[in-house]
């Protein structure tokens, strides 16, 4: 698609948005009706009220081109605050966009082949995928064309326009599950099975009904093996069961996980497989292997014989032993092992924020070196298909952009949702806490500890995915000495990978201002006591369990009086007294 041409479907979306926006502004369209329409087009209201909007732009399975990166830089300046934000679902958000200007922004992104259609609302959301797909030395299949086919199949699909609730799809190319398939409505992991002839056949294992939120559920395997030709009809069949049986009367119990709770897994499984059987006979079903897969191929990157494959996945120990800025960055941020001889590198976006200059600088890197880039689910960028000779040059370019931190995706690279900065539901400034934790870890010499992930959500709904982090926090209002104060619940031991997910368990409650100290205490103890190659969860179990660690942290759950410690009653990035202001949720509209 030309970067200066808007395709017919996108043009129709924008034209309809302009008509509905005009009706709303003239008072001819009810607010609740326009809200649903707006959300289904990826436009989300902010806690600031008025016409301040957040625009969420889809980057399917994290993929984004140089022209699209340049356009993100333009949007940051023209419509927002000079920077954008990467999400944990590989989308890109811009805040403080004025409602009246949304049609212009939609045109700008459509010109480079992007859309915000169905990025919010009760729709099939952005299709996620492992950011190293096609470049991973461990993958069974390159899931890139499969994720692309899924994205195209469900975008604007009538089946997904007014679902009981949102519906999330995620792909991983191997059991390491860097894509995090195990807590989605549909999670797909590439696997193999042995045929009757004794040969290995590559296909998929489809997991369903996973989810986070206030009540996390682990995804369940639909069947042991799903053949390639059955994958798309399987996903659609799950969506059809959800559309037919999801709870339309109570949005809080409407996700696919609640369908399984209500009907039982065996009944849901029976319905999905029955619908799939007859869907294949439908005159409207395209059938066969998707064209995107046939054209691009899905062969794995393979593992090089002469290069040790870089270990991946949550809990991977990373040790930065060599001196020098480049050497430390290479130790932590460069991934090797693909048979095609290319390497990948992580560009660090601090707190998931990317300035206009950084967007444009990344675009220049993509063009200069002829590589591709994807957004990671830990709010960074993966630069892929680099040669060994290009690595030092890329490091220099990233250093100039302030994106060459050696701690990218290590313990101090904290993931956080937008929190009370812009979200109606958040009760704490999760981004401010993330910043404080990072600074405290650096001050204590612990910023480059490997094998640990920290995630923060500003409320229990887990947009920051705190349930699956080694150390997780979710915001909560606390009362002390007759006053409201920002607080957090600290969870320990979350994990996703190897076709399983473990949700973190509550360790203790803390004042917001004590949370960084709690992190330092846990990280230092883990760093000092762990055995060679020991995981965080393994260390927890060996150290007496989460109850024991929580008891040791309990002393930090103390609020001084407002006179002794006035900062305890002011949230991060705020200047006035704390108040838990929760607006109307658009998440459940």
End position of a domain, from candidates 55, 90, 110 = 110
- What DSSP string describes 322-372? S-SHHHHHHHHHEE--BTTS-EEEEEP-GGGEEEHHHHHHHHHHHHHHT-E
278 shares its domain with 149: yes
Answer whether 134's CB lies under 8 Å from 175's CB. Answer: no
- Residue 2 placed within a domain: no
18 shares its domain with 56: yes
DSSP-based three-state secondary structure for 160: helix
Alpha carbons 180 and 165: distance in angstroms, whole number: 20
- Residue 121 placed within a domain: no
Q: What is the CATH number of the domain that holds 75?
A: 3.90.480.20
24 shares its domain with 162: no
Q: 117 Cβ partners below 8 Å, 6+ apart?
A: 10, 13, 40, 41, 42, 58, 155, 156
479 shares its domain with 364: no
Q: What is the pLDDT along the chain (589 residues), one digit of tens a residue?
A: 445 789 999 999 999 999 999 999 999 999 999 999 999 999 999 988 889 999 999 999 999 999 999 999 999 999 999 999 999 999 999 999 999 999 999 999 999 999 999 999 999 999 999 999 999 999 999 999 999 999 999 999 999 999 999 999 999 999 999 999 999 999 999 999 999 999 999 999 999 999 999 899 999 999 999 999 999 999 999 999 999 999 999 999 999 999 999 999 999 999 999 999 999 888 778 888 999 999 999 999 999 887 889 988 998 887 777 889 999 999 999 999 999 899 999 999 999 999 999 999 999 999 999 999 999 999 999 999 999 999 999 999 999 999 999 988 889 999 999 999 989 889 999 999 999 999 999 999 999 898 999 999 999 999 999 999 999 999 999 999 999 999 999 999 999 999 999 999 999 999 999 999 999 999 999 999 999 889 999 999 999 999 999 999 999 999 999 999 999 999 999 989 998 887 666 764 3
- Residue 123 placed within a domain: no
Answer whether 510's CB lies under 8 Å from 474's CB. Answer: no
63 shares its domain with 151: no
Q: What is the CATH number of the domain that holds 374?
A: 3.30.1370
- Residue 318 placed within a domain: no
- Look at the chain and count its residues: 589
- What DSSP string describes 176-202? T-TT-GGGSSEEEEEEEEE-TTS-EEE
428 shares its domain with 561: yes
- 334-335 and 343-347 strand pairing: antiparallel
Question: Residue 171's beta-bridge partner residues?
Answer: 129, 188
Residue 64: domain span: 8-110
Note the pLDDT of residue 3.
Answer: 59
H or E element at residue 473: strand 471-480
- Residue 314 placed within a domain: no
Q: What is the CATH number of the domain that holds 156?
A: 3.30.413.10
Angle made by CA atoms 205, 210, 211, in degrees to the nearest 5 = 150
419 shares its domain with 389: no
Residue 348: how many CA atoms within 13 Å on its side-chain side?
A: 23
Question: Residue 211's beta-bridge partner residues?
Answer: 217
144 shares its domain with 245: yes
456 shares its domain with 387: no
- Residue 173 placed within a domain: yes
449 shares its domain with 554: yes
Distances (CA, A) of 78 to 48, 52, 84: 20, 14, 12
287 shares its domain with 167: yes
Note the pLDDT of residue 318.
Answer: 79
End position of a domain, from candidates 110, 127, 155 = 110
Handedness of CA 221, 227, 228, 232 (dihedral sign): negative
Note the pLDDT of residue 1.
Answer: 43
Alpha carbons 486 and 6: distance in angstroms, whole number: 46
Alpha carbons 550 and 534: distance in angstroms, whole number: 20
Note the pLDDT of residue 587.
Answer: 60
* Domains identified in the chain, total number: 4
Q: Pick from 43, 18, 33, 66: which is nearest to 115 by CA?
A: 43
91 shares its domain with 146: no
End position of a domain, from candidates 377, 400, 423 = 400
- Residue 119 placed within a domain: no
Helix axes 256-263, 265-279, angle to 10 degrees: 110
- Residue 285 placed within a domain: yes
Alpha carbons 535 and 75: distance in angstroms, whole number: 41
């Amino acid at each position: 698609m030309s970067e200066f041409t808007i395709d017919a479907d996108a043009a129709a979306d924008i034209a309809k948005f302009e008509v509905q926006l005009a009706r709303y502004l003239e008072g001819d369209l009810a607010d609740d009706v326009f809200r649903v329409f707006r959300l289904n087009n990826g436009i989300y209201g902010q806690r600031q009220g008025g016409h301040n909007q957040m625009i969420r732009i889809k980057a399917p399975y994290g993929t984004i081109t140089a022209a699209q990166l340049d356009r993100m830089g333009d949007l940051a300046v023209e419509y927002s605050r000079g920077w954008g934000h990467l999400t944990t679902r590989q989308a890109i958000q811009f805040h403080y966009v004025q409602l009246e200007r949304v049609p212009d922004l939609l045109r700008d992104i459509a010109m480079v082949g992007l859309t915000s259609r169905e990025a919010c609302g009760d729709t099939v959301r952005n299709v996620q995928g492992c950011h190293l797909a096609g470049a991973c030395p461990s993958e069974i299949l390159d899931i890139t064309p499969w994720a692309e086919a899924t994205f195209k199949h469900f975008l604007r699909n009538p089946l997904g326009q007014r679902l009981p609730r949102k519906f999330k799809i995620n792909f991983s190319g191997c059991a390491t599950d860097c894509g995090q398939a195990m807590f989605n409505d549909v999670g797909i992991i590439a696997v193999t099975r042995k045929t009757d002839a004794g040969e290995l056949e590559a296909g998929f294992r489809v997991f369903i009904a996973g989810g986070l939120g206030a009540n996390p559920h682990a995804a369940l395997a639909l069947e042991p093996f799903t053949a390639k030709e059955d994958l798309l009809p399987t996903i659609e069949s799950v969506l059809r069961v959800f559309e037919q049986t999801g709870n339309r009367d109570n949005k809080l119990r409407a996700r696919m996980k609640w369908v399984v709770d209500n009907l039982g897994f065996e009944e849901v499984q029976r319905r999905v497989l029955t619908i799939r059987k007859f869907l294949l006979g439908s005159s409207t079903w395209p059938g066969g292997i998707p064209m995107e897969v046939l054209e691009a191929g899905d062969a794995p990157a393979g593992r090089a014989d002469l290069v040790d494959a870089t270990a991946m996945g949550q809990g991977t120990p990373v040790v930065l032993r060599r001196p020098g800025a480049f050497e430390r960055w290479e130790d932590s941020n460069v991934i090797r092992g693909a048979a095609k001889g290319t390497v990948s590198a992580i560009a660090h976006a601090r707190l998931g924020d990317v300035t206009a200059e950084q967007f444009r600088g990344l675009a220049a890197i993509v063009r200069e070196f002829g590589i591709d880039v994807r957004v990671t689910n830990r709010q960074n960028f993966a630069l892929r298909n680099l040669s060994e000779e290009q690595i030092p040059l890329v490091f220099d370019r990233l250093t100039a952009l302030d994106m060459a931190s050696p701690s990218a995706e290590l313990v101090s690279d904290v993931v956080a949702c937008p929190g009370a900065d812009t979200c109606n539901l958040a009760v704490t400034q999760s981004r401010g806490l993330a910043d404080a934790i990072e600074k405290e870890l650096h001050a204590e010499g612990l910023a480059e500890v490997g094998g640990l992930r920290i995630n923060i959500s500003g409320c229990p709904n887990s947009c920051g995915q705190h349930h699956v982090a080694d150390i997780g926090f979710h915001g909560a209002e606390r009362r002390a000495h007759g006053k409201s104060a920002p607080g957090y619940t600290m969870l320990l031991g979350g994990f996703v990978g190897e076709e399983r997910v473990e949700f973190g368990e509550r360790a203790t409650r803390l004042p917001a201002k004590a949370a960084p100290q709690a992190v330092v205490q846990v990280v230092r103890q883990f760093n000092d006591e762990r055995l060679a190659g020991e995981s965080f969860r393994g260390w927890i179990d060996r150290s007496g369990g989460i109850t024991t660690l929580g008891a040791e942290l309990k002393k930090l759950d103390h609020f001084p009086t407002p006179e002794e410690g006035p900062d305890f009653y002011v949230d991060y990035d705020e200047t006035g007294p704390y108040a838990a202001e929760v607006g109307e949720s658009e998440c459940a509209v």
